[in-house]
Amino acid sequence: MLKHRGFPSRLPGTDFQFTIRRANPKGATAIVRRERYRDRRPADRQADTAFVAALWQQFGDQPFERGNLDAGRLSWLFGREVLPAEEPFDPASYDALLVLDVAAARAAFPEAFDDPEAW
């Protein structure tokens, strides 16, 4: 499992994690598309925004390996702002390649691109 050095481990001051420490011996948790409803808590929306800002700052529009990125946090963005970068895509692999859809991410989280240092 690739560990993304320099990627924030969590949203500061919260328990919203962005990375995991070690690989699960049973295999990676599958990434699935989760629905984001309008009534989500502001803290959840802030965590998504900070995660998108970290993805943009770390990888830009280039494909990246899932590695130690948290499957739960990726699942909130998967299929919209984060897309598979390879075919066939294995959602339960630490080696799976993903890519940030910059246009969709800017539309959904414009503040993530304003000042990346704020996160």
State the Rg of the chain over Cα.
Answer: 13
pTM (2 decimals)?
0.89
Share of the chain above pLDDT 90, in %: 66
Say what the pLDDT of residue 13 is.
84
- Which residue has 């948790």 as its token pair? 29
Instruction: For residue 39, name the pLDDT band (cuts at 50, 70, 90).
Output: confident
- In 3-state terms, what secondary structure has residue 39? coil
pLDDT band at 22 (very low <50, low <70, confident <90, very high): confident
Between CA 49 and CA 105 the distance in angstroms is 9
- Asked whether residue 17 carries a pLDDT value surpassing 80, the answer given is yes
Q: Is the pLDDT of residue 95 over 90?
A: yes
Token look-up 């802030």 returns: 46
Residue with tokens 């990246």: 64
> Where in the chain are the domains?
42-112
Give the pLDDT of residue 89: 92
* Model confidence at 57: pLDDT above 70: yes
Distance CA 52, CA 26 (A): 28
Q: Is the dihedral of CA 89, 69, 65, 119 positive or negative?
A: positive
